[in-house]
């Protein structure tokens, strides 16, 4: 049971992309099914996966959490969310069919129709990479792809309305 609670708590690691390490509020993960393979250090959540935290929500069809360490020092190494991934924080929203978070570099890679929306505009491409704690984003496209990287910047009045709206 203790390991199950650790698994649930650590699954919120995807939220670590936007949540500081000092956050002491609980994160709740719900899904239709959960499987944990302790020997392989893998936890899998399937069906209507929802990670809820006071600062972020993450939705997906499936989320696989890879751990490192031992039973007493287990920690999240990587999280892969697939199928209708939606990450909401404040007035920002990221969507993709696949999101991968790695703890070693605090990086989230969105692929398969990624899009990031905010009060300032919308960014799309083939692959969008975000780093936690940094105002940094890389957007890539495939040279052979007709769906080029795209940035839409809203006019100042619309940006002001977007920032002020709830």
Which tens digits make up the pLDDT trace of 90-142? 888 999 999 998 988 888 999 999 999 988 888 988 999 988 777 788 998 87
Kindly state the average pLDDT of the residues 1-20: 32
Count Cβ atoms within 10 A of the Cβ of residue 21 and give its class: 0-12 exposed, 13-18 middle, 19 or more buried.
exposed
Per CATH, the number for 2-164 is 2.60.450.10
Q: Where are the domains of the chain?
A: 2-164
- Report d(CA 88, CA 122) in Å as an integer: 14
Decide: pTM greater than 0.85: no
Q: What is the pLDDT of residue 23?
A: 59
Q: What is the pLDDT of residue 112?
A: 94
- Report d(CA 166, CA 164) in Å as an integer: 7
- Report d(CA 98, CA 60) in Å as an integer: 9
| Per-residue pLDDT tens digits for 34-83 | 998 988 899 999 999 998 877 788 999 999 989 887 767 778 889 999 99
Helix H or strand E segment including 37: strand 33-37
Q: What is the pLDDT of residue 166?
A: 60
Check residues 119 and 16 and name the one with the higher pLDDT: 119
Task: Report the Cα 150 to chain-centroid distance in Å.
Answer: 21
Task: Report the Cα 60 to chain-centroid distance in Å.
Answer: 9
pLDDT band at 147 (very low <50, low <70, confident <90, very high): low
């Amino acid at each position: 049971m203790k390991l199950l609670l650790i698994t649930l708590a650590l699954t919120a690691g995807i939220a670590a992309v936007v949540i500081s390490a000092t956050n002491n509020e609980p994160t709740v993960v719900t899904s239709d099914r959960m499987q944990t393979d302790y020997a392989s250090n893998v936890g899998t959540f399937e069906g209507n996966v929802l990670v809820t935290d006071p600062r972020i929500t993450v939705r997906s069809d499936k989320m696989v959490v890879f751990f490192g360490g031992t039973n007493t020092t287990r920690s999240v190494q990587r999280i892969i969310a697939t199928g209708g991934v939606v990450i909401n924080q404040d007035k920002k929203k990221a969507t993709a069919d696949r999101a991968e978070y790695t703890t070693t570099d605090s990086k989230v890679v969105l692929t398969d129709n990624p899009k990031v929306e905010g009060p300032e505009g919308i960014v799309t491409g083939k692959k969008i990479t975000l780093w936690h704690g940094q105002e940094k984003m890389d957007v890539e496209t495939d040279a052979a792809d007709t769906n080029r990287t795209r940035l839409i910047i809203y006019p100042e009045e619309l940006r002001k309305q977007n920032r002020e709206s709830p």
